[in-house]
Homo-oligomer: A and B are copies of this chain.
Amino acid sequence: MTQFHENTLKNPFSIRTDLAIEARELAQQEASAADELEGVDVKTEETSDYFLTHVRILSEEGSRLMGKPKGDYITLESEMLKENNTECHKKIIKVLAENIHSLVEFGKDACVLVAGLGNWNITPDALGPKVVSKILVTRHLQGSLPQEIEETVRPVAAVSPGVMGITGIETGEILKGIVEKVHPTLLIAIDALAARRSSRINAAIQLSNTGIAPGAGVGNKRMMLDQDSLGIPVIAIGVPTVVDAATLVNDTMDCILNEMMAQTEHGSDFYKTLQSLEQEEKYQMIADILGPYTGNMFVTPKEVDAVIDRLANIIANSINIALHPGVTMEDINKYTF
């Protein structure tokens, strides 16, 4: 998980969000205006099953405002991601598969490496490794398959490199080493993310073409996984699966304060004190207070195991369909049980 699976030794809460849609909300707040951010283009699409937001960061200024690299960030939001709703999941799989192609162009025989980032021992961080276990891997069969089958599958390899606490090695080092041997045309990296709104946990999937930095958010410098470092394009697929304790308190403090204001005097000094705080400052203050106390806690839904399995299924199906010409919507769950 980008803010989760690496050691978060100092100041675990000085995180920014992994989600472009949240970064945009924060940036808008700071700009204290409803008008569009310069250099940031946003398109949305709503269906009965999901809400799709395409954030495109076009300029250096947009990148600075958003705190994220230039490029495309597509976020699919749906409460149905958490439910056992096969029909809705089919539609989501379809739109994800299409958007994988929209993010990076790659030839029909190009070799693709799928990397499941995260720690398989911690359920909400195990999303990436779970997706990898459901990918239809074919690279090693090239040349040994009958011609008619060979045409239905692209060469695909898949690895779960682990996290630094498990391997002693930076995830980026391991992947760079493998990329230099396998020479894929494209890397697809799946990772669990941290969100800044409890309501988004397991309810959003973000696709981007700007690379991913395992652990970057936590203040440690980490090797970025992107075109610059690896020499190939990178599609990152992420799902916010936890919030930290400070986020939970921050969110609920807002609810509680609103509630209380109704019962107390509006002009109270306490309210003014709080109101005068920037959103980010307030979060930071809470994080600082909580630090020694809950630094090691995270907040997760009770049914997290089942939900992570379901999300891994959805993502793996959409990757299998996006990559292999012969795998279609008819084959959903054929390779992912």
Contacts and interface: CB of A to CB of B under 8 A. Distances in A.
- Pick the most buried of A260, A290, A297: most chain B CB atoms within 10 A of its CB: A297
Contacts of A333: 86, 333
A178 B182 contact: no
A139 interface: yes
Contacts of A58: none
Given A180-B177, A268-B270, A298-B302, A137 B159 contact: no
Contacts of A297: 198, 248, 299-302
Interface in A249-295: 249, 251-253, 255-256, 259-260, 263-265, 268-271, 273, 285-286, 289-290, 293-294
Contact of A252 (B137, B286, B302, B334): B286
Nearest to A259: B289
Given A121-B305, A198-B294, A296-B301, A273 B269 contact: no
A175 to B, nearest CB: 9
A301 B309 CA distance: 21
A303 interface: yes
A253 B253 contact: yes
Say whether chain A's binding surface is mostly helix, strand, loop, or mixed.
helix
Contacts of A252: 245, 249, 286, 289-290, 293-294
Interface size class of chain A, counting residues whose CB lies under 8 Å from the partner chain: 35 or more
A165 to B, nearest CB: 7
B168 A173 contact: no
Contact of A268 (B180, B251, B268): B268
A174 B167 contact: no
Contact of A169 (B144, B178, B286, B334): B178
Interface stretch (A73-81, A150-158, A233-241): A150-158
Interface in A194-225: 198-199
A123 interface: yes
A81 to B, nearest CB: 14
Given A122-B305, A298-B299, A165 B140 contact: yes
The 10 closest A-B pairs by CB, nearest first: A177-B177, A139-B168, A157-B168, A270-B270, A137-B168, A177-B181, A173-B181, A177-B178, A268-B270, A140-B168
Interface of A: 4, 7, 9, 84, 86, 121-123, 133, 137-141, 144, 155-162, 164-170, 173-174, 176-182, 198-199, 245, 248-249, 251-253, 255-256, 259-260, 263-265, 268-271, 273, 285-286, 289-290, 293-294, 296-303, 305-306, 309-310, 313, 333-335, 337
9 contacts: A139-B169, A158-B167, A169-B178, A177-B179, A177-B180, A199-B293, A248-B248, A255-B289, A260-B273
